[in-house]
Amino acid sequence: MKRARDHVALLVLIGLALAAIPSAHAAPAGRLGAQFRYWAFDDGNDNRNPLVYWIARNYHVQLEVWDYEEGQDQFRPELGVHLFDSRRSAYSAQWRHEKGLERYTLSTEQVLSDHFVGKLAVSALVAADSTDYMWQGGFDYYWGSWSFAGAEVIRDPRGDELWVFPLRARIADEDNDWVQFTVAPASQRTIGWAVDMKYRWLRFGIEQNSRYDFSTRDNIVFTVGAEMFLPKPKE
């Protein structure tokens, strides 16, 4: 618990430092957020999961802690770099440290038309004695400014090569306040679901599944958070 509290304190300090970046160094506009997620597992080994993140146009940083009732806690830093072409298609490279492995991801989101965006990603899961690969692909259909519906397929080598098929719809207004619904059928497991929403600077969510990280531990996840848009400083 002491180590987990130390990690939480570190998250707070880094979050404050990130908040100071735009005004101190004229960084590009972006979003600063923090969330607390509570994972209620069916075996009682619940997980308290605070995180902070900073998302700019060309990079993002996320820092989070997994603080379990029992067992080894985790500190999970993540860093991503994002580039865009003239069509506004995105090309990303990302690194995340997880328990027992490093995850390296290359992904792209291709603007196919005024309404369709195609997505493809591959992740290398590098452990001490092995490397596995996770594949993900799909598309989103956009209408209005921020509303979209999408479908994906995920193949993960863990859990007897589990396949997951998330279906997602987000209904948003012109201020980008939204509610999002997700249904995620999975091979060899039950159907997961999630409801998430953003209203002004508040974030809320609830999720139920039996395949988190492709395990067999049933859980329900509650999320509450805050997110603010930090505009580019005036010249």
**Domain segments of the chain as ranges:** 2-230
Quickly name the fold that domain 2-230 has: Porin (2.40.160)
Confidence of residue 154 (pLDDT cuts 50, 70, 90): very high
Q: How many CA atoms lie within 13 A of 110 on its CB side?
A: 7
Determine which of 88-102, 154-168, 208-222 has the lowest per-residue pLDDT on average: 208-222
* pLDDT tens digit sequence for 70-125: 878 999 999 999 999 999 999 999 999 998 899 999 999 999 999 999 999 999 99
**Does the predicted model carry a pTM greater than 0.85?**
no
**pLDDT for the residue 5:** 54
Please give the average per-residue pLDDT across 139-161, as a whole number: 89
How confident is the model at residue 23, as a pLDDT?
A: 43
